[in-house]
Each structure stands twice: as structure tokens, then as C-alpha cells.
Amino acid sequence: MNADSARWTLLRHGEFGNQNLCKGGNTKKMKKKTLTIAIALVLVVALAVGATWAYLTAQSGPVVNTFTVGKLFDQGGGIKLQEKAVTQNADGTYVIAADAAWQDTGINYVVQPGVDLPKQPAVKVDSLTAKAYLFVGVKGDTKDGFTWNVDTAIWSPLMKDNAQVEKDGYKIWVLKTDVANGSYDILANDKVTVGKDLNPDTLTAANNIAFQAYICQTAGFADAAAAFTECFK
């Protein structure tokens, strides 16, 4: 048997160093397997510890607060200042017919001494949704033989510092009752009184009568005067 044949025989039967090498290989495989198992155990322990020390928590659902600007009226609502239409008779007098329509414009009259003039201006309130103060402004001078009066059963002069509030030449009156949807006449007896001694030529533009309506929320104000001053300053 030559040397090469002897070396092959030894290798095949697991003798000499190669047998030790095979054992050494198995040892390395075992070490690797042991290390893998150890790492896996460490991870399991770490996960277990992490779960053990997790914070106790809870969370509610959101509560959202929204803000919108309020309105005095529903859509399409508001205030209007209107007058009942008049009919002029052949003799020059005027009447308000039972079926007279409300109109948004003023009326031009031809004045005759001793003949009163029917006049029915009113403030209309529609679709009001909040508490409010209702005001009317009246402008125009009276004189001997040509007079009219605001209906004090419905309106009170708006007073501040012992004087009636004025705005742009209008004297301001405030509704005496709580405002509701409806119509509020302005002049007492719905007329202008014309004296028999009046000279129509003495009437000037200063004697023209003009009206203006205003409305303002009540919330946030001490009284009607404070509300008007702040809302319409």
C-alpha cells in the first residue's frame, strides 16, 4: 500500500486528525445553535419586560366647539318702513281706502286749510329670531296750523342725559313693548292736522315729515339708549 492509499483509508475510517476536524465542526455548529437560542430568549425576555412596563393609557373622542355669527332675522326677514297708499278725491281731500296697499315710498300732498291729511306710516317686523330694541326716527317741524304727533301709546322718546336722542336730524323713539313680528303705527290717529288758518304758502321743506326705522339686539347693553348709541353711532 503506498502513502496515498493509506491516507485515503484513514480518512474513510475517520482516523487521525480528520476525525478531530469533524468533531470540531460539530462543536462550531452547536455553538452557533446555542447562540441563536440565547438571542431568541433575550428578545422574548425583552418583549415580555417591555409589555410589563407599558404605560396605562386611554383617549377620549374629540369635542369640537363651533362658532357662528347670530342673526336677528331668519333668511328673508327684516324691518321695513311703509305707508298706506292714499287716494285723492275730486274735491282735493285724501282718504285711505280699506283695501289700500302698503307702499315703500312717501306721499306728496296738496294742502288745503282746515283739511286734515290721512297718513299711516308704520314699521313692519318680519321673521325676528332674537330679542331686540326697535326704534323709529321722525324728522320734520310742526307749526301753528300744521301739527302731527308720534303715538305715545306705542312709542317713547329715547332719552339720554335728560334729552331726547337725535341722529342726523331725526328725533329717536323706542318701542314701549317687546318687539314681535308685526306692524307698528307711528303717528297718533294716523293723520296730520291742518288748521283752517294755515297759509299753505308758509310751508317749507322743513315741514316735510320723514321717518327712519332702526333695530338692534338687546344682549350686551344696559338699556335702549346704550344700544342705540353703540349700534348706530
pLDDT class of 35 with cuts at 50, 70, 90: low
Asked whether residue 3 carries a pLDDT value surpassing 50, the answer given is no
Average pLDDT over the chain reads: 85
Q: How confident is the model at residue 211 (pLDDT cuts 50, 70, 90)?
A: very high
CA distance 174 to 214: 9
Winning range, highest mean pLDDT, from 44-53, 130-139, 194-203 = 130-139
Residue 171: partners with Cβ closer than 8 Å, 6 or more residues away: 137, 138, 139, 157, 164, 165
Question: What is the pLDDT, as a whole number, of residue 134?
Answer: 98
Indicate whether 141 pLDDT > 70: yes
Which band of pLDDT confidence, cut at 50, 70 and 90, is reported for residue 54?
confident
By mean pLDDT, which of 34-38, 110-114, 164-168, 169-173 is the weakest?
34-38
Across the range 182-204, mean pLDDT stands at: 95
Q: Is 1 helix (H, G, I), strand (E, B) or coil?
A: coil
Instruction: Report yes or no: 57 and 200 within 8 Å, Cβ to Cβ.
Output: no
> Which cell numbers hold the place of 112?
288745503
In 85-145, DSSP assigns E strands to 87-88, 94-95, 102-103, 117-118, 121-128, 132-139
- Average pLDDT score over residue span 52-74: 88
Asked whether the predicted pLDDT for residue 13 surpasses 60, the reply is: no
